[in-house]
Amino acid sequence: MGICIENVKYIAYSTFLNIFELETSYMIKSIRNIISIIGLFFIPHLLIAQDQKNKNQKAPTLCQENYFTEKEGALFLKSHTLHNLSDWEIRSTNILDQIKLGMNLNNVPKKSSSGATIHSIQEMDGYTVENVFFESIPGFYVTGNLYRPKKQSTSYAGILCPHGHDNNKEGRFREQTQIRCATLARMGAIVFAWDMVGYGDSKQCSHEVNGVQRLQTINSIRALDFLLTQPGIDKNRIGITGESGGGTQSFLLSAIDKRINVSVPVVMISAHFFGGCNCESGMPIHKNGDFQTNNVEIAALTAPRPMLMISDGDDWTKNTPNIEFPFMKNIYSLYQAENNIENIHLPNDKHDYGKSKRMAMYPFMTKYLGLDLTNVTDEHRAINETPSLVLTKNSLSAFNDNFPLPQNAILGDEKIADLIRKF
């Protein structure tokens, strides 16, 4: 029997293909297995690393207390000094956006329809004092005092007076707060002073409640709403002034709410110090990813509206004449309004709202809010605060037997923190 050479060639070729296919299949499977083993080890680590990178990019950073050194604060302002208005408007928009994002102020609850309770009027020399409470968010009440001038006028300036921190948490009951409120009322303004969260009559939660900066800022907005509802108030003559933590409230509210026409933050605006309490810097308003700002830039959002920076030589405002004020003056110059920004520096003063600081504030408020300084000056043209009396805490209390805390008030840090998150 003969053998066909062509058949032999075909059989050999087919066998080769089969062997090749088997070897190739085995190699592919082996490579896949190796890749799988490598993947099991490396890919999770790569994903974790990427996820951490994303978190790092998105996770905001809290800037608190001396987040910058004095040198770093000065260098930051120098590197962010702008020379045309369009650049500053872009920058200021980014700053405002971060403030609102950091405090979730794009979702502020609607103003309560329940109205304010005003009671227990006290007749004083040239002014009256009344006790006040109203809801800022459902279940939380702002507590304060309303000072009115006795002298009748066709319209009145309005001034908000937030207070700073103190060890006894007396807040608006302190002498320095009462005297300035009463004197401003004697000068012709309707004045409202209210409690920080956890201070004075505000005892629904502690000052350390989670989210206190958001709640306190909403309270400031609602305090302004309340002031603007007072009969005869001139919405074009609205000022704010406070010291320390109240200084933060002053420049922060001025930054986010253009209804403030004149701002006098006292012993607070600093290039390197960001606020020592969570009510000032406990939420990410200063930094997010690569974005960074500080309190001087935030204060500069007030421009071109008039601002007086009052500083002293014993705290983080000691460099104001040489560092913070020149930066602010440059921003105001972009609006051709450099005369609207002033600094009174008291190098021998301490961290407070003492008499020397009040004496600097009164003329500035008079100049820009149309107050009557002659109502409080003596025959030597010196400002006389003597008729501005310090009243007892009980007489100024928002709540008493006749006006108790409303039944819908929510109590306790945990519940208030939930309320802040909810709204």
The DSSP string of 261-291 is -EEEEES---SS---SSHHHHSSSSSEETTE
298 contacts 255 by C-beta, under 8 angstroms: yes
Q: Please identify, in words, the CATH class of the domain defined by 92-414.
A: alpha beta
From CA 233, how far away is CA 158, in angstroms rounded?
6
Q: How many other C-beta atoms are found inside a 10 Å radius of the C-beta of residue 20?
A: 10
Strands (E), 104-232: 117-123, 127-137, 140-149, 156-160, 189-194
276 contacts 244 by C-beta, under 8 angstroms: no
From CA 339, how far away is CA 341, in angstroms rounded?
6
Nearest CA to 158 among 224, 112, 246?
Answer: 224
Q: What predicted TM-score, i.e. pTM, was given to this entire model?
A: 0.86
219 φ/ψ angles, rounded to the nearest 5 degrees = -60, -40
For residue 24, the model assigns a pLDDT of 43
From CA 155, how far away is CA 188, in angstroms rounded?
9
Q: End-to-end alpha-carbon separation of the chain, Å?
A: 98
CA R_g for the chain: 31
288 contacts 275 by C-beta, under 8 angstroms: no
For residue 59, the model assigns a pLDDT of 57
Given a cut of 50, the residues of the chain with pLDDT beneath it are 1-57
From CA 25, how far away is CA 29, in angstroms rounded?
6
Neighbour-count burial of 356, counting CB atoms closer than 10 A to its CB (0-12 exposed, 13-18 middle, 19+ buried): middle
239 contacts 261 by C-beta, under 8 angstroms: yes
For residue 110, the model assigns a pLDDT of 87
Q: How many other C-beta atoms are found inside a 10 Å radius of the C-beta of residue 94?
A: 13
For residue 60, the model assigns a pLDDT of 66
Classify 171 in phi/psi space as left (phi over 0), alpha (psi -120 to 50) or beta: left
From CA 348, how far away is CA 344, in angstroms rounded?
12
